[in-house]
Amino acid sequence: MEGLCKNCGQMHLVSAETQEEADRIASESCDCENEAKWHRMMEENVEMLCGEQSRDLNFIPLDDTSLRYVKTTCELIHAGFISNAKFSAANSEIKINGVLGKVDIKRTKKQTNQMTI
């Protein structure tokens, strides 16, 4: 099936059940350099790692202010204004680094268990 990239309009042959799915797969797999595509993917990934969807990964979702901070930090790194950032929020540590023209986000749970007998 043929799918069209939402960002550049380039046609790709993909394996999909519906046109909507074909267009989504084509957009995700297209290697066009489009700022809107980068921004959309950043939003989706930050939401998955730090927003409500992070519950599926056993994290506590960040509040709106902290979530905006993560997104703004990603944008600043992508634009080349800063190279990395690290902060703590919602019982976790979040590291954001610029790596070879990409933005790498890592969230680590802070958890300590102790028993005294």
pLDDT (tens digit per residue) in 27-80: 878 877 777 778 888 999 999 999 999 999 999 999 999 999 999 999 999 888
Domain boundaries, the chain: 1-32, 35-117
Among 82, 97, 92, 28, residue whose Cα is nearest residue 10: 28
pTM strictly above 0.85 = no
List Cα–Cα distances, 41 to 19, 38, 82, 88, in angstroms: 20, 5, 20, 23
What does the block give as tokens for 52?
């409500």
pLDDT tens column, 76-99: 998 889 999 999 999 999 999 998
